Structure 1
Amino acid sequence: MLKGSPRKNLVWTASRTQVARRDYWLRFLGSLCIVLVLVLASIHTPFYTSDPNLSATEVEALDTVIFEDAPIPIVSQQSVVPNAPAKPRLLFQIDDVDPEEIMEIDLQGLDVDPAQFQGRIVRRPDTPVRVLTIVEPTFDSIALPKAWRGETVQVRILIGRNGDVRYAEILPESLPNVEGKTSMINTLQDKIDAALTEWAFRPANHDGQDVLSYTVQTFRL
């Protein structure tokens, strides 16, 4: 079989290539048009279809019913109750004490003038009694018990409105082992009373007036 000329073969191949390219582009454009049509149809067409027989009011009511039937989560709110304030703690007991008391002193057996004790004794004056002059008593001539030597004794003294000593008494609880030593305590009292006659005091003042008041002084034996 005789082969055709080379020129005819080249012409036939070129024409076949052009036909193939044209078919390819036609198929490509056709596919692109189909894709665009599907995209447009999906955009303008809803995914669900409603019943054409339902009116707009019925559709709205249906939506409302569906919303109402949906479970609504209930969040419980816990009310916060503040803790009750702590009760105040009393560090010490405070007794109601009248700052003034009517003086009641047994004057039987005392060589004093009862008129000197008239008035009120103020236990908590605005300005307390002040000591101006001190004369220490001497106890060398007294045979004090060994348990008392070097100890201190407290004496409660009543000072008048003029700063004079009205009354003085030893506080037995300030001494150790006082049982059976009443005579010794009386001797100490005499020594202290003798020394107090030379003491000078400034009287207490309350509400702008000089008043009767106590002072407690300490003596070393």
Structure 2
Amino acid sequence: MKRKVLIIALIFCGFGISSTYADSHAESGKKFVGATSGYEGREDRLGRSMAVVLKSLNETKPYQHDINDALVKMILTTLQFAKNNDMIEELIASDVEVVRPLLEKVRRNYLRTGKLDTVMVGMIDRTACAYQLFLEIEMKDGERSWQSPFGLILEHTVRLGQHDLTEKEVHDIWIKKRFHAYAEVIGVDLFISEWTEDGKVSIKVLGPTLVAQN
């Protein structure tokens, strides 16, 4: 929490410093040629985004909210529906078909480069639904690790009767089953860690499957 607030403060501080230098140069008649933020022309969008971040982090009851709360709750509710209607396999199959064009692009990049890390880049690093869900991702060559984001919210929604899922169920379905299905399309084998109580999740690309070698 403190780190997120610090990051936001530094962003605004940086804008303030740039503005101060720009004003001083303008007053002296000199052209300001300092560093740019990269958000020129998108200030309104940035402001709206920061407002949503601050609103989310300001919600501390009944638990400290985070910026991925809505995504976590949507996934949990989707999984609960699939569980209630015995449709887990259908859910995974549908999800794979939705993202198949992207997975096939990842497959082409992997076959072209032969680099295992391109699989992780395509499935996780450049996928908003991954990096917006797993807020801190540890990166190694061909491997990614993160802390499961589902436990805190499940603790409260199970108590309220909204869900009856366990975090292990979520891991086995949404992480293991889904990513293995993705890997099958790409043509690689994955190692995905089993669920442990510390909530640490790791995915590693082991190498090509027979499909990828053909």
- Is the TM-score greater than 0.5? no
Pairwise TM-score range, normalised by the shorter structure:
under 0.3
Q: Compare the two structures and name the one with the higher strand fraction.
A: 1
TM-score by length of 1: 0.20
Larger radius of gyration: 1
TM-score by length of 2: 0.20
- 1 or 2 for the larger relative contact order (CA 8 Å, sep ≥6)? 1
